[in-house]
Amino acid sequence: RGTRDSMRQVRKSSSVGRAACALGTTVLLALPAAAQTGVPEVDSATVARGAYARAAAALRANDLTKARTEMTRAATAWPTQPAYVWGHAIVSARVSDTASVLAALTEYAALGLGRDIAEGAVAPFRDLPAFAAVRARLDNNRAPLVRSSVYAQLPDSTFWPEGMDYDARSKTFYVASVRHRTVAAVSPNGVVRELWPRSQPNMGAMLGIRVDTKRNALWATTSGLKQMNGYAPPDSSIAALLRIDVATGAITRRWDLPPITGGHVLGDLAVGPNGDVYVTDSSDPVLYRLRPGADTLERLTHPLFRSLQGMAPTPDGLTLYVADYSHGLIRVDLASRTVTRVADALHSSSLGCDGIAWYNGAIIAVQNGVAPARVVRFVLDPSGRRIVRYEVLDQNIPLAGEPTIGTVVGDHFVYVANSQWDEYDDDGRRLPNTTLTAPRLLGVALGKSLP
């Protein structure tokens, strides 16, 4: 899926932008010097976003000539941004340019993505003989690849899961609820216990959660969102990191962020091997770090930070990988605080990744910002600065239509399969003709990466 509903776009603030490759000089010249950040990927992405926005406006005005020019510019500038490649196919179809439609769909399929071209502007081209190969490839890319099985299930279909983690000592899964502002503990025998009563005052939607076994604590993030039950306007100021006692479920410490215009969305967190806690803000793109024993959250900002999501610390504690919905995978050198973008493998896209985890020299990612949503392994080179190949691990569309966050459990990756962002509108109202299903955690074997 290439786009999210509006709330998901607040959390993943700009799903139409990602710096996937270095762009040509002629494209960069389109950005005024005063607007350049000095980070080539960011400046290139800005140029492409501008062209895409102008193309969309021209389409609304039925100015197909300008729309085609601008969409071509966006897709050429950013050839691994799926939204722009698909948009190029749509505009080319509107002007009946068969060769350009075929080229755009071929590029889209080469990214490993798939959409049904039987509907919309490209539908008239579907059955042309020249499109047989690309149609087959798109259909194959969007077909389910079911390698996972159900690890746990919660009985309440209204729970609305988001983040999760696993405590290997007690074999307990912890699942955060957007809707009910609480955290559920799922025991090995399937018994579900909520750590505190639902919809408590001064508690926001629960988003990220991680187990810290060394300190016998749970860390969780909470933010005031309209999708949570009982939301009132003052709740928009809620944004906090919580430390929770594993045994009792009591909140033992709370770090509240000062309110800002537009609000914070503390979407995910990670615990490093030395006890550092990392938190991402998806709305105000800041990476926070809480060192053991510290009272203050340290802030790190960078032009590459646009819509921050999950994180994966390396086992040596020297590097933190961060998923940015708009800019792909980002590498943070924790000692120098140097921020760089991880280069994509040929014909791949790390756009739209949500929860991520480290596993044997690779990043395991829930990639829910592409069509279709999937779980992917991005294998890194020895330097950790480049993706050398990717592998789709799971594409369980029947059970995992909207996956979010996961964790490594032994040699499996277990993840939230069916969050409910698409079943509610911006104001937290249930959309018509939607069906809620019981929250599920799916697990897929990791094994060895493909050669």
Strand-pair category, 192-194 with 183-186: antiparallel
Residues 278 and 271: their CA atoms lie apart, in Å, by 6
Residues 135 and 141: their CA atoms lie apart, in Å, by 10
Residues 433 and 314: their CA atoms lie apart, in Å, by 43
pLDDT at 450: 52
What is the percent of the chain with per-residue pLDDT over 70, rounded to a whole number? 91
Instruction: Using the predicted structure, report yes or no on whether residue 25 has a pLDDT greater than 80.
Output: no
Mean pLDDT on 206-223: 96
Residues 446 and 114: their CA atoms lie apart, in Å, by 23
Residues 244 and 5: their CA atoms lie apart, in Å, by 31
Lowest mean pLDDT among 7-11, 118-122, 231-235, 418-422: 7-11
Helix, strand, coil share of the chain (percent; to 5): 25, 30, 45
* Run of H or E residues at 67: helix 64-77
What is the percent of the chain with per-residue pLDDT over 90, rounded to a whole number? 86
pLDDT at 306: 95
Length of the chain: 451
Q: Look at residue 228 and give its three-state secondary structure.
A: coil
Tell me the pLDDT band of 112, cut-offs 50, 70 and 90. Answer: very high
pLDDT at 449: 59
Angle at Cα 352 formed by Cα 103 and Cα 86, nearest 5°?
20
pLDDT digits (tens, 9 = 90+) for 252-310: 999 999 999 999 999 999 999 999 999 999 999 999 999 999 999 999 999 999 999 99
Tell me the pLDDT band of 40, cut-offs 50, 70 and 90. Answer: confident
What's the pTM value of the predicted model, to 2 decimals?
0.92
Q: Look at residue 370 and give its three-state secondary structure.
A: coil
Angle at Cα 337 formed by Cα 358 and Cα 243, nearest 5°?
60
* Run of H or E residues at 60: helix 40-60
Tokens of 348: 């791949």
Q: What are phi and psi of 125, to 5 degrees?
A: -95, -10
pLDDT digits (tens, 9 = 90+) for 424-438: 999 999 999 999 999
Q: What are phi and psi of 105, to 5 degrees?
A: -65, -35
What is the residue-averaged pLDDT of the chain? 91
Residue 123 or residue 12, greater confidence: 123
pLDDT digits (tens, 9 = 90+) for 373-395: 999 999 999 999 999 999 999 99
Closest C-alpha to 119, from 96, 141, 135, 100: 135
pLDDT at 33: 58
